[in-house]
Chains A and B, each alone.
Chain A
Amino acid sequence: MIHLEFNSESENEGIARVVAAAYMMRFDPTVEEMADVKTAVSEAVTNSIVHAYTDKEGKIIFDISSVENIIKITVEDFGIGISDIKKAMEPMYTTKAEEERTGMGFSFMEAFMDEVQVISKPAKGTKVIMTKMIGGNENLHG
């Protein structure tokens, strides 16, 4: 497994994607699976930077592990938290439209991963747990 802790700086979004992509290589992913995971990671980490900490600096914990060919990615912050998770996950819902946020972050995570779980507590932080089977289609066909 991989356990990383980094500051909520936007440069680190790319680092999180690269680490996830490198970890996935052992499962011989397709180009599409690679893009799926990179996008989901990018959305989760960006949420922590943009929403959880806004302009403050804070810590983000990024874990990747796997059981057989199912990878599990956890992105955790200790920021403002989400009071209404259901609402936050609604497509196109955003609290920051003026900052050109689309409200598509959670929708992308759900579209690109097999499962997305969000645990949050206002003023405590948010934890996003995502899983995805890599090479699943190939197994089905063959």
Chain B
Amino acid sequence: MATEYQVENRKLYVRLDGELDHHLAEKVKHQCEIILKSYPIRDIEFDFSNSGFMDSSGVGMILGRYRQIQPMGGNVSISHMNDTIRRVVHMAGLHQIVKEK
């Protein structure tokens, strides 16, 4: 399987597959940039159903997407986090700017 991208009603769903480290974060960033250029995206949702790990590179990538869409009034949300990911999100303060689902 691979990370899946789906656009629905100006919202981009990113269904992560695998550990969100620097390696995967670079790939996701690149793919998001292509999609954001091609579609009128307002919000982004990162779905962690198939990802059980994230480090500070993942935090940086999510923050980067937030900075891209926030000026246009968009939101970033994170769904299906396990406890490990939730802990990193809270330690980094990411929960103050993105929605937890």
Looking at the complex, which of A62-70, A81-89, A101-109 is the stretch in contact with chain B? A101-109
Q: Is the CB of B60 within 8 A of A101?
A: yes
Q: State whether A102 and B84 are in contact (beta carbons under 8 Å apart), knowing that A11-B23, A14-B23, A111-B91 are contacts in the complex.
A: no
Task: Specify which of B63, B84, B87 is in contact with A100 (CB 8 Å cutoff).
Answer: B63
Q: For chain A, which range describes its interface: under 10, 10 to 19, 20 to 34, or 35 or more residues?
A: 20 to 34
Q: Do residues A108 and B84 form an inter-chain contact, with CB atoms below 8 A?
A: no
Chain A CB within 8 A of B97 CB:
no
B interface residues with partner A (beta carbon < 8 Å) = 18-19, 21-23, 25-26, 29, 53, 55-57, 59-61, 63-64, 83-84, 87-88, 91-92
What's the dominant secondary structure at chain A's contact region?
Answer: helix
Dominant SS at the B interface?
Answer: helix
A104/B92 in contact, CB under 8 A: yes
Contact A108 B22 (CB under 8 A): no
- List residues of chain B with CB within 8 A of the CB of A100: 25, 29, 60-61, 63-64
A selection of 6 A-B contacts at a CB cut-off of 8 Å is A10-B26, A32-B83, A32-B84, A39-B88, A46-B21, A101-B60
A108 and B19 within 8 A (CB) = no
Tell me whether A127 is interfacial, beta carbon within 8 Å.
no
Least distance between A90 CB and chain B CB atoms (Å): 14
Encoded as 1 (CB less than 8 Å from any B CB) or 0, chain A from 41 to 62 comes to 0110010011000000000000
Q: Let me know if A13 and B56 touch, CB within 8 A.
A: no
Flag whether A1 is at the interface (Cβ < 8 A).
Answer: no
With a cutoff of 8 Å between Cβ atoms, the chain B residues found around residue A13 in the complex are 21-23
Q: How far is the CB of A16 from chain B (nearest CB, A)?
A: 10
A20 to B19, CA, bound (A): 15
In the bound complex, residues from chain A placing their C-beta under 8 Å from that of B84 are: 31-32, 35
CB-contact partner of B55 in A10, A11, A32, A39, under 8 A: A39
* Nearest residue, chain B, Cβ from A94: B60
Pick the most buried of B18, B23, B83: most chain A CB atoms within 10 A of its CB.
B23
Tell me if A132 is interfacial: C-beta within 8 Å of chain B.
no
Given A35-B53, A100-B64, A104-B56, does the pair A14, B19 have CB atoms closer than 8 Å?
yes
